[in-house]
Amino acid sequence: MLEVACPSPTSRVPEASPSSARETVVDDEIRGVPVPAGSIVAVLPYVVHHHPDHWPEPTRFRPERFAEATERHPAAWMPFGIGPRQCIGLHFALLEGQLALAMILQRYEFSAVPRRREPLRLAVVMRPHGGVQVRVSLAPALRARC
Ligand code: HEM
Average pLDDT, the chain: 84
Max CA-CA distance within the chain?
68
Choose the weakest-confidence range: 39-53, 69-83, 89-103, 122-136.
122-136
Parse the chain into domains and list their residue ranges.
2-145
- Report CA(85)–ligand 1 centroid distance (Å): 9
pLDDT surpasses 80 at 106: yes
pLDDT of amino acid 90: 93
Question: How confident is the model over 104-117, as a mean pLDDT?
Answer: 85
Q: Residue 60 contacts by C-beta under 8 Å, 6 or more apart in sequence?
A: none
Assessment of whether the complete model's pTM goes beyond 0.85: no
- Report CA(73)–ligand 1 centroid distance (Å): 21
Of residues 26 and 79, more confidence is placed in: 26
Question: How confident is the model over 46-59, as a mean pLDDT?
Answer: 90
The CATH code of domain 2-145 reads 1.10.630.10
Of residues 58 and 115, more confidence is placed in: 58
pLDDT of amino acid 1: 46
Nearest CA to ligand 1 atom 16: 81
Q: Is the CB of 117 under 6 A from ligand 1?
A: no
Of residues 83 and 129, more confidence is placed in: 83
